[in-house]
Each structure stands twice: as C-alpha cells, then as structure tokens.
C-alpha cells in the first residue's frame, strides 16, 4: 500500500515538474487559430453539445433566455453627448446592433424618436466581417465627428474610423487606425492623440502601446511624431483630453504596473510630470482641481490623507510643483468609494457602506468641499451612468437582487430626482428573500455574503446552490437583478449566493491589497470559508453546491476545485486564467503581474505555484465534472488557459465539459443568440449536476 502511494506521488510530481519547467505537452493549444488546435476545439465542443444540448432543459432555457435578451421592455442605456442622447441597441431585428441617437427632451419624454446612425448588421454584411461595436468618441464641442471603434468578433483590438454625422457615413479620406489595442482622443478637429501599434518597438511586453503620438489630418499615420513614451517593461502609455467649462486639459498616463502610474500635463508642447502618489488614480479635473482617489496613505506636509480618501489639488499649482491638497471625503472602516464623476459644478460620489450604495454630491466653495446626500433608493446597488461635464445633468441606475433595474434622471446642483423607467419583473420574486451573512476565513477575517432564496427554504442540506465571487482587481461584487438567472435558477428553487471576498473593493483599497501576490491564498480561503459556512448552516452540501466565475473569477473557481474538490459538485469556469506559470507570456497577461506576481522570479513563483490550477492537477482526486468556457476571439485572457486545462484533465482521466465560442472576445459572446446559448448551457449543466 505504501509503495502504491509513493508511486502515485512520484507520478504527480513528474507531471507538475514537467509543466513547471515549461515542458508542456499541450503548449500547441496556445496556437489560437492553428489547424490542430481548432480541430481539437471543434471536437470538444461537439462532445459537450452532445450531452448538454440534448438535455430536456436546454431548449426551454435557450428560448427563455433569448426572449429576455431580445425583450423590447429593456431600458435603452443613455449616453449624454452634446444635445443628444446616444444608445447602442441589440434585439431580434438587430442582431449585431444599431448605434442611434435622439434629442435629450425626446428621451426624457419616455417616447424617444430614435435616429439610426450606424447599423452594424448591414456594415458586417457589406464588409463580410463579423463586426462588434466598440464605442465612439465624439469631437467636442458640437460632436459632428466621431472616431468609431469596431472589433472583429469582439476582441479588445479594434479598428478606428472617422464618422461624419452630417452625412451619416464614414469619411473615406478621414482618420483611420488599423486594428490594434490602444486609444484615440480628439485634440481638435484636425488632430488626434493616438496610442497604437507601430511595430514591436512601440509596444510593451503586455501587448499595449508605450508611445503616444500626435496625428494631424492629411499626414500619414506612420509619420505622426512621438510626444510621449514609456518603457517597454511598462503596462501601457496613453494620452487623453479632458474638456471642461473652464478649459481643455491634455494629459499623458504612463502605466508602470497595473496599479502604479505617472501622470503628465501637456502644457506648451511640454510633458510635465505631476508629483502625486504612484498608486493614486486620477479621477478627473474639476473647477481647476485635479481629483485623486488615494490607494494608500499619503503624507504631505504635516497632513495625513488616508487610504481610500478622495482629495483635490489646484491644477496650476501642481503643474508648477506645488502641493495644496484638500480632503473631499474620507470613507469609514466599512465604507469605500465606488465611483466619482464630475458634472459642471458638482462631484457625484457613489459610496458603499457595508456593500450597500449611497449617493452624494460635493461642491467646492471657498477652498473646501461640502457634501450632500442624494435621496436615492437605499439598500441596493447604484450605478452612476452618463454625466454631462457642461451641465449638471446625470443618470443613475438602482437595482437589487429582487428589484428590477430602474433608471433615474437627476440634477447634481439641486439634487432633484426623476424616475424615468423600470424594467418589468422578469421572474416571480414574491416568495423570495435576501439575507446577508458572514463567514470566518482562515485568518479570522469576517467575509460577508448574500443568500437569495425562498422565504420558506428548508435547511436540509439539499438545496441546489450557486456560489459566485470574483476576488480581484478591486472590483466590488454588488446586489444586481439578473432576469436570466432569476428565470432559470431562482424561480425553479435554486439558491444564489454572492460572496464579497478579499481582492475586491467592497471595503476600500485595503480589502483589495490584502489579497495581492504572496497573500493570494487569502482570497481562496475566503471563498472556501463561505462554502463551508453554507454547508455548516445546512443550506446546502458539497453534493448540491456549484460555483461560477469568469476571468480572474475563473482562476478563483479553478483554484477552488483543485484545492477543495469535496466542497463543490459543479464548476463553471469562464474565460479563465489557469496556467499561472505562463500567464505573463500570453496576450495581456504581463499587465497583471501587479496582482499576481511574476512567475519568472523564483521567489514569486514559489507562492504562485502553490495555487496555480494547471500545476496542481493530480491523479486520483475526486474532482467535480467541470464546465470550461472560453472564446477564440478573446485577446485579453488567452483561450490556451482553458484549452490546456481541459486537455490535462482528460489526460489524467477526468470527465469535463468544454465550450469555446469562435467569437465574442473576453465577454464570451457578441450577439443575444450567443448569450442565450451560453446561459442555456450553463444552467442546463447546473441542474444536471446539482439537482440529484
């Protein structure tokens, strides 16, 4: 018996060592469009479809999902630009979508008269390309020209073309930027600040531009002079323009790591470095005040400004090298700043208190800031939408787990609120309730989580339960209304759990930083703790508990099932990072070393390898049957992560499901049909695994 165990350990060690030393038997699956790799993808897709699409649930789930996604009851998301409200819309008649606009008064009337600007379906047919709309940047102040971004199949790399609103067409001889990751900002009618791919020497190791150039109309793109550049080892460089009532501000950002930057003001054709903390985030410029979100304590002069605070500094003095900061707001221990927006005369600050949103406006007067709470709905999630820099108009959204999303129009100066539209109920929530709980993590930290389920839920350990979390990049997980999840999961008796684990931003920068690099295991311990608490409270059991996560959340659930397989019986692992030895060599992976660490540094690989899912797979474990999904067109997180994990698990004798969409980018889907199919596959899989 002892001999057998020793042999198994040696075999597992050999497998792990092979992958650690980059002697990877499945590295060929990193060839995204290679014939052999695509043949493998198509075979794995068919195997999954043969099981999940043939399940009795699938057709019902697909039709219900598509009905919701194509519903005309959805709210048309407004974007305030000049005198118009712009919107991008997809439905059954516009599969790839239409970009359209209406007068602000028309939109506020509740019966907007839309003018279609660009039909992406027609453009795709005309160009024989599956275009995905990537947004548009308008030329201030009259917005008669736009730079329109289009991606092939939904990737991050886009082409940019100049569009003339007066003719309703692209300008044949206008500005055109070939497909690349980067940015473009209008300096004036005849000049753009651009960051794009001019060849390998112009790019960072993360795959983003390190140069900013000034491109003038009528000159070749290749001749655009460099006005700012960072280093090859940086994450990226960009130039951006902030137009405010008082003046235009031109700035450069050198992204050194994902969390540290240098900002430069461009004055009199000279880039002037601004002396602010490297990890501070430049929110905006308001009333000649540069507004910062502090990610660490800042000692300046004889004053301490605490981590998580919002402060402002006079722009002109800062350019001259002088500091005169003023505190805007300092959140408490259980609070954090979710967003800061600038209207004409107010800052609009969205604050979280114990994972519940509160909305405030702040006025700068006589050298100090005064805040007023907005009488917005409470005990849910608020998202500030489009904000006008030249009026005090803005939109915000409210929702919670059981309350459909509602859109409000407000004025930041007088704090008036006008409810505009609410989604109809897409599922029956009358018998459901929401409760908030806490679980104790391995180091004693209390981790909050929400449970959504029936009011009369039986605590018998048999409830099909789906646990979701993210745990990274200071992204907060908040209550939200999900029509598809409500219809396909909650209505049918499923329990939904949202965990606010460390790595997110629910309680400020410190909550995020507690899970960085060598402390990453805390994030996974938090997740395990919530799962254990759900089981201990008899809400569910390992047999009936499923987990889901995407991107960094895909890494989270990958770690979860490789570390604690007994806790989970279903795992949906979407567009994931999984090979943490090579993640920094794949697409944008190098940009995330500020989050995870550098696996090429032995001291950092020592802690990364302890959780890297690809390197911790072993034989003879009772892993759940995992469902991996990714996209061929994902140019952010390489599809090779999911591909190789599946191949290795199958080599070790485990059953898995796999679906790779051929387009969709990092979002995984480009059309409502693709989104509906993804939802149908996911919930078919969950009921198959957890309802038995």
In a domain, 605, yes or no: yes
551 belongs to the catalytic site: yes
Write down the pLDDT at residue 475. 96
- Tell me the C-alpha distance between 420 and 407, whole Å: 6
- Tell me the C-alpha distance between 233 and 254, whole Å: 11
* Sign, CA torsion 611/616/622/626: positive
Reading across the β-sheet that carries 248-255, which strands appear in turn?
A: 236-243, 248-255, 261-267, 270-273
CATH of the domain at 489: 3.40.50.1820
Q: Which residue segment(s) compose the domain that 673 sits in?
A: 35-66+426-690
In a domain, 596, yes or no: yes
Structure tokens at 83: 């005198």
> Which value, in Å, is the radius of gyration of the alpha carbons in the chain?
25
Q: What are phi and psi of 85, to 5 degrees?
A: -105, 125
Write down the pLDDT at residue 662. 82
What is the β-pairing status of strands 626-631 and 656-661? parallel
How many structural domains compose the chain? 1
Query: DSSP strand E in 423-542: where?
Result: 432-440, 446-454, 465-468, 495-499
Helix 35-52, helix 672-690: angle, nearest 10: 60
- Tell me the C-alpha distance between 357 and 371, whole Å: 16
In a domain, 460, yes or no: yes
In a domain, 493, yes or no: yes
- Tell me the C-alpha distance between 668 and 682, whole Å: 13
In a domain, 656, yes or no: yes
- Tell me the C-alpha distance between 291 and 318, whole Å: 12
Is the backbone peptide bond immediately before 349 cis, with ω within 30 degrees of 0? no
Q: Write down the pTM of the prediction.
A: 0.90
Instruction: Point out the residues of the chain with pLDDT beneath 50.
Output: 1-21
**The one catalytic residue among 631, 666, 670, 679:** 666
Q: Please, what is the Cα angle at 604 between 602 and 605, to 5 degrees?
A: 65
- Bridge partners of 185, per DSSP, are 193
- Tell me the C-alpha distance between 208 and 235, whole Å: 7
In a domain, 156, yes or no: no
**The one catalytic residue among 261, 388, 551, 591:** 551
Residue from 22, 26, 47, 12 nearest 642 by CA = 26
In a domain, 618, yes or no: yes
- Bridge partners of 290, per DSSP, are 285, 313
In a domain, 571, yes or no: yes
Give one DSSP letter per residue of 170-223, joined into a string. E-TTS-EEEEES-EEEEEETTEEEEE--SSGGGB-TTSSB-EEEEEETTS-GGG
541-573 CB burial, b ≥16 within 10 A, e <16: bbbbbbbbbbbbbbbbbbbbbbbbbebbbbbbb
Q: Which residues does 317 contact at the CB level (< 8 Å), separation at least 6?
A: 323, 324
């Amino acid at each position: 018996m002892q001999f057998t165990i020793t042999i198994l350990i040696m075999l597992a060690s050999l497998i792990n060592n092979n992958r650690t030393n980059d002697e990877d038997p499945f590295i060929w699956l990193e060839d995204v469009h290679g014939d052999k790799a695509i043949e493998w993808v198509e075979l794995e897709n068919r195997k999954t479809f043969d099981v999940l699409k043939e399940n009795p649930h699938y057709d019902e789930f697909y039709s219900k999902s598509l009905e919701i996604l194509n519903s005309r009851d959805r709210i048309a998301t407004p974007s305030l630009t000049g005198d118009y409200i712009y919107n991008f819309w997809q439905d059954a008649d516009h599969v790839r979508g239409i970009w359209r606009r209406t007068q602000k008064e028309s939109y506020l009337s509740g019966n907007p008269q839309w003018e279609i600007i660009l039909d992406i379906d027609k453009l795709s047919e005309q160009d024989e390309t599956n275009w995905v709309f990537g947004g548009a940047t308008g030329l201030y102040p009259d917005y008669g020209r736009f730079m329109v971004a289009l991606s092939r199949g939904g990737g991050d790399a886009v082409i940019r073309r100049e569009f003339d609103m007066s003719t309703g067409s692209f300008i044949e001889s206008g500005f055109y930027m070939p497909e690349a990751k980067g940015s473009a900002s209008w300096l004036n009618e005849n000049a753009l600040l651009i960051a794009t791919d001019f060849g390998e020497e112009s790019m960072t190791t993360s795959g983003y531009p390190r140069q900013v150039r000034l491109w003038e109309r009528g000159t070749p793109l290749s001749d655009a002079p460099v006005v700012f550049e960072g280093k090859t080892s940086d994450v990226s460089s960009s130039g951006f323009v902030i137009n405010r009532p008082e003046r235009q501000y031109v700035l450069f950002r050198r992204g050194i790591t994902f969390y540290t930057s240098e900002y430069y003001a461009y004055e009199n054709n000279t880039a002037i470095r601004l002396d602010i903390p490297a990890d501070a985030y430049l929110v905006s410029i308001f009333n000649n005040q540069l507004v910062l979100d502090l990610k660490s304590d800042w000692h300046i002069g004889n004053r301490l400004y605490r981590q998580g605070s919002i402060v402002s500094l006079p722009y002109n003095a800062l350019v001259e090298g002088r500091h005169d900061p003023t505190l805007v707001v300092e959140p408490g221990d259980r609070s954090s700043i979710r967003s800061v927006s600038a209207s004409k005369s107010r800052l609009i600050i969205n604050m979280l208190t114990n994972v519940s949103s509160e909305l405030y406006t702040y006025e700068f007067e006589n050298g100090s800031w005064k805040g007023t709470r907005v009488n917005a709905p409470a005990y849910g999630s608020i998202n500030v939408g489009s904000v006008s820099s030249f009026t005090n108009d803005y939109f915000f959204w409210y929702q919670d787990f059981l309350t459909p999303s509602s859109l409000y129009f407000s004025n930041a100066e007088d704090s008036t609120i006008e409810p505009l539209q609410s989604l109809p109920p897409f599922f029956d929530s009358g018998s459901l309730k929401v409760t908030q709980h806490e679980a104790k993590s391995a180091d004693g930290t209390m981790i909050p989580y929400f449970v959504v389920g029936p009011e009369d839920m039986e605590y018998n350990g048999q409830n099909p339960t789906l646990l979701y979390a993210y745990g990274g990049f200071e992204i907060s997980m908040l209550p939200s209304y999900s029509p598809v999840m409500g219809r396909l999961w909650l209505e049918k008796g499923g329990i939904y759990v949202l965990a606010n684990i460390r790595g997110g931003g629910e309680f400020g920068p410190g909550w995020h930083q507690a899970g960085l690099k060598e402390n990453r295991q805390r994030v996974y311990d938090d997740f395990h703790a919530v799962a254990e608490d759900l089981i201990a409270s008899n809400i569910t059991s390992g047999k009936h508990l499923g987990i889901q996560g995407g991107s960094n959340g895909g890494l989270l659930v990958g770690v979860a099932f490789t570390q604690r397989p007994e806790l989970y019986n279903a795992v949906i692992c979407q567009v994931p990072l999984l090979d943490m030895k090579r993640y920094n060599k794949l697409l944008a992976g190098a940009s995330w070393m500020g989050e995870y660490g550098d696996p090429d540094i032995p001291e950092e690989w020592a802690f990364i390898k302890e959780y890297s899912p690809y390197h911790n797979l072993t034989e003879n474990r009772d892993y759940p049957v995992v469902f991996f999904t990714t996209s061929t067109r994902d140019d952010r997180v390489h599809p090779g992560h999911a591909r190789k994990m599946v191949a290795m698990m199958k080599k070790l004798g485990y059953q898995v499901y796999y679906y790779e969409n051929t387009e969709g980018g990092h979002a995984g889907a480009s059309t409502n049909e693709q989104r509906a199919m993804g939802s149908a596959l996911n919930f078919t899989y969950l009921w198959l695994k957890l309802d038995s």
